[in-house]
Amino acid sequence: MMRGLDAADVVVPVTFEDIFTPATKTAMSTTTTTHEDDGVEGAQQQLDPEIQKALPLECNITNTQHLRSSPTATCYRIDVSTPDAEHHSYFLKLARGNTGWEALRGEHESTRLIYSLQRDLTPTPMTWGTLMSDRNTHFYLCTYHDFQPGLAPDPETFSRQLAELHVKSASLGERRFGFHVPTYNGDIRQRNSWERRWETFFAKGLQSAFDLHNERAGYVEELEAVEHDLFKIVVPRLLRPLESDGRRIMPGLIHGDLWHENTAVERGSGRTMIFDAASFWGHNEYELGYWLPEHNKFGVDYFEAYHELVPRSEPVEDYDDRIRLYALRFNLHAAALFPGDLKYRDMVIEEAQLLVEKYTP
Q: Which domains does the chain have, with CATH numbers?
A: 7-143 (3.30.200.20), 155-359 (3.90.1200.10)
pLDDT at res. 47: 84
Looking at the chain, the whole-number percentage of residues with pLDDT higher than 90 is: 82
Residue 32 has pLDDT above 60, yes or no: no
Angstrom distance (rounded) from CA 109 to CA 104? 9
What pTM was computed for the model?
0.88
Angstrom distance (rounded) from CA 268 to CA 279? 28
Count of C-beta atoms within a 10 Å radius of residue 184: 25
Q: Which residue has the higher pLDDT, 339 or 21?
A: 339
Split at pLDDT 50, 70, 90, the class of 361 is: confident
**What are the strands, taking DSSP E only, across the chain?**
20-22, 45-47, 60-69, 74-81, 87-96, 125-130, 137-143, 184-185, 188-189, 252-254, 263-265, 272-274, 280-282
Which of 266, 267, 209 shows the shortest CA–CA distance to 235? 209
Split at pLDDT 50, 70, 90, the class of 16 is: low
Residue 20 has pLDDT above 70, yes or no: no
pLDDT at res. 292: 85
